[in-house]
Amino acid sequence: MLHTWDEGALMAHTRRAAVLLLAALVVSAGCSADTEEAPAPLATAAPLPGSPTTTPSPELAEGTVTPAGSYIEGPDGVTLIVPPGTVQEPTAAHVRELPDGYDVHIDGAWDGFVMVLMPIGDLPEDTEPVLLHHAAEGQVLEPAVVVGDHLVARLESLSVIELLKCSIPPTNALKCLAKDGYKELKKEALNQGGKKATDPLACGDVLDVVGWFTGEEACHAGETQEEIDAWQKAEEERRRKEQQGTPPSGAAPPAAAPVSEVRLSRGGAAPQGSYYDVRLAGFAPGTTVQVSCRDSADPGGFLTFTLATDAAGEAAASNRCYSGDGPDHWVVAGGRESNHVSWAASGGTGAAPPPPAPPPPAPPSRNPVVSLAQGPSAPAGYRYAVSLSGFSPGAAVTVTCHDSADPGGFFTFTMTTDGAGNAFTQNQCYSGDGPDHWVRAGGRESNHVAWSAAAPPPPPPAANPVVSLGRGPGAPAGYRYAVSLSGFSPGAAVTVTCHDSADPGGFFTFTMTTDGAGNAFTQNQCYSGDGPDHWVRAGGRESNHVTW
């Protein structure tokens, strides 16, 4: 069914029609393609006043999209949204159901982006939705965001799209897809690395186009009421300026926009060629900037992701995309093109690029230490419980896992240290080979730990659990709680509740997992601006009280 962009009528119509979009989609459990039974559809809502409509068949919905903006509700509720100005003249478009997804197409020329909404229905526990784009140049994992009961994608090209539901683990959608025979993935997909394919879009991107469709509350999960109120106030001011064209009488002239700068450098070695080291400066603070990675082989861009600027209007990324094609490489961020950087084409076997500039030297008192312990049981053998201490605060440390079967290393990931230069993880790599296991982090080798693939013995009883609280770094209100656990059972999941004088019964609860020595630390879970007294309870034990 086709609708035009009549905002007043559309607001009332689409909120009623939103519930009509839940229908059967191509899904997979563990990324296999199964058919999920959808709820029975409700009666179709009346068309908007003056909007031409077509009679959709169960497999096809078609119509004409206009420069004023339109949307076509297709089979199973899959909806194509064409924002105002995307087409320059009335143009035919359709949404067609196919055996392996949905063919979404605009017949004539169009420019910019469109939105595609796909109902996800009831999402089973331990699964995540993935949007696979069968583009002409290959299969692409498109960035998308879950808004309410829909998966929303912002696309700059159209062809066949398919919604998959991948089981967790694996959280790596590429491994999940590869299991189901998706072997020829374009480098956009490979660039996702170990990250989820559904990297979030900006709330503004979604709400500007589809907020009227699903309700703006869905894009504010986890925000405080003050943050939501501030956003709504900014939106009202933006809409007022758009409607009036000029600020109210007597208002001060708007401040000059900052000069945005986009810089690209050649980053570290990648599976093919080198990573893109992207730096943004001079953008508006606290905004989301869309970045498109490009090279000589794909001058129109081969991967798009988003960066959120900090309070100074700056942002950086060094592992979001890479290229082995050449010779030219650049990015476009927020509509601004970066400098161009040249490096030779490489299939991953050529000479490594020059190392990045070394970080500032650590204070003389620091002595980085890398420790390994046997973590919890894994699908094969045990997980690596890796602890870092004495590193620079906030440092991104590259860690490689080794064992006797793969002494050169079999898995590499990054750990980021806290304000004290410490970090811990036990969910990145595991091994059932042996007997020897170790890691290298920041150029330093850990101790070696021996284990076999046999089941672990039961953990020893906790010696004398101790819960300690310190004042952590500054927070949006007051300070964060720096919580330390020691003497607990190794690999234990310990429930922690944060308390203060204003909420003596507790105001936030989370879980900490101890390492192989029964220890754990965090300072990024809860904070308080109330007082004066602050404490936590962990595993039934109360910490010391700290005043701020």
Do both 80 and 9 map to the same domain? Answer: yes
- Tell me whether residue 289 is in a domain: yes
Q: And the tokens for 388?
A: 């870092």
Q: Which of 425, 450, 475 is the last residue of a domain?
A: 450
- Tell me whether residue 250 is in a domain: no
Do both 528 and 442 map to the same domain? Answer: no
Do both 184 and 144 map to the same domain? Answer: yes
Do both 193 and 82 map to the same domain? Answer: yes
- Tell me whether residue 42 is in a domain: yes
Secondary structure letter of residue 213 according to DSSP? H
Do both 416 and 500 map to the same domain? Answer: no
Residue 388 belongs to domain with CATH number:
2.60.40
- Cβ-count burial 385-416 (b if 16+ within 10 Å, e if not): bbbbbbbbeebebebbbbbeeeeeeebebebe
Give dist(CA 320, CA 307) in Å, integer: 10
Do both 332 and 373 map to the same domain? Answer: no
Q: Which of 193, 208, 223 is the last residue of a domain?
A: 208
pLDDT per residue over 233-264, tens digit each?
776 777 677 666 555 445 555 555 557 899 99
- Tell me whether residue 125 is in a domain: yes
Alpha carbon separation from 264 to 340, 349, 352, 375 (Å, rounded): 7, 23, 18, 39
With a CB cutoff of 8 Å and minimum separation 6, the contacts of 523 are 418, 419, 472, 473, 480, 481, 482, 483
- pLDDT in the model for residue 153: 79
Do both 83 and 169 map to the same domain? Answer: yes
Do both 187 and 74 map to the same domain? Answer: yes
Do both 428 and 483 map to the same domain? Answer: no
Do both 435 and 472 map to the same domain? Answer: no
DSSP 282-342: SSPTT-EEEEEEEESS-TT-SEEEEEE--TTS-EEESSS-EES--SEEEEEETTEE---EE
- pLDDT in the model for residue 417: 95
Q: For residue 496, give its domain range.
A: 466-547
Do both 443 and 543 map to the same domain? Answer: no
Give dist(CA 307, CA 313) in Å, integer: 11
- pLDDT in the model for residue 395: 93
Do both 52 and 164 map to the same domain? Answer: yes
SS3 call for 167:
strand
SS3 call for 217:
helix
- Tell me whether residue 362 is in a domain: no
Q: And the tokens for 503?
A: 């909420």
- pLDDT in the model for residue 125: 65
pLDDT per residue over 409-427, tens digit each?
999 999 999 999 999 999 9
- Tell me whether residue 136 is in a domain: yes
Domain count, the chain: 4
Q: Which of 342, 361, 392 is the last residue of a domain?
A: 342
- Tell me whether residue 510 is in a domain: yes
- pLDDT in the model for residue 159: 84
**Residue matched to tokens 């077509």:** 54
Low-confidence ranges of the chain (pLDDT < 70): 1-57, 125-126, 136-138, 143, 147-148, 167-225, 227-229, 231-232, 235, 239, 242-258, 345-366, 453-463
- Tell me whether residue 483 is in a domain: yes
